[in-house]
Amino acid sequence: MATILDLGLLKGFTDIFVWILIFLIVYGGLEVTNLLKNKGLHALFAFVITAVVVLTGGATNIITAMAPWVIVIAAIMFFVLLLAGFAGIKPETVVSTFGGKGTGLVWYVLVPLIVILIIAWTQGPQEKVVINPATGEQTVVEQAQRPFVGVLTNPKLLGLFLIMGVGAMTLALMTGGGAVSPLK
């Protein structure tokens, strides 16, 4: 039965989405730094880097595994800045609270990204060679994700972390007099 929210077809476009993502990141980085001093060279260099990364099969799998977690980190950063804005705090104050002129903030983002990269690299789908005993033919079978990723993405465990986080924030606010001191 066809449904409106059937997203199964999007798996066929994974390579295209990864291609666009890598191209935009590389091109945007080159434009911001103005490394080659020419927009055409930036586009050509981004296209070549994207082609090399996407045509390497393993890199696409790693990027596909990392993308949701990177989106979560970006969303958390966005909502922290948004909540601070609602409280009347300037974004510069929030960034300085996390470590000065952006250097401390880099560690708050860089360390989780490295952890995500290691998990995506080591815990992705396993490939196993299966030999048919009747014909002797070898086939490569991709197994499901490893147990570590399955445990981390279990809704019960994620709910537990959410409840523990809310409880920790409630305790901190109740014992601290109702206000978070670094942002005052």
- Domain map (residue ranges) of the chain: 16-55, 63-122, 125-167
45 pLDDT above the threshold of 70: yes
37 pLDDT above the threshold of 80: yes
Please report, to the nearest 10 degrees, the dihedral formed by the alpha carbons of residues 143, 148, 153, 156 taken in order. 120
Confidence of residue 27 (pLDDT cuts 50, 70, 90): very high
Confidence of residue 17 (pLDDT cuts 50, 70, 90): confident
179 pLDDT above the threshold of 60: no
Q: What pLDDT, on a 0 to 100 scale, did the predictor assign at position 117?
A: 82
Q: Quote the CA–CA distance of 23 and 105 in Å, as a whole number.
A: 25
What is the chain's mean pLDDT, rounded? 78
> 3-class SS at 71?
helix
At which residue do the structure tokens 């409880």 appear?
Answer: 167
Segment 95-107, tens digit of pLDDT:
777 766 656 667 7
47 pLDDT above the threshold of 90: yes
pTM of the model: 0.55
85 pLDDT above the threshold of 60: yes
Instruction: Please give the single-letter amino acid code of residue 40.
Output: G
- Angle at which helices 57-86 and 39-55 cross, to 10°: 120
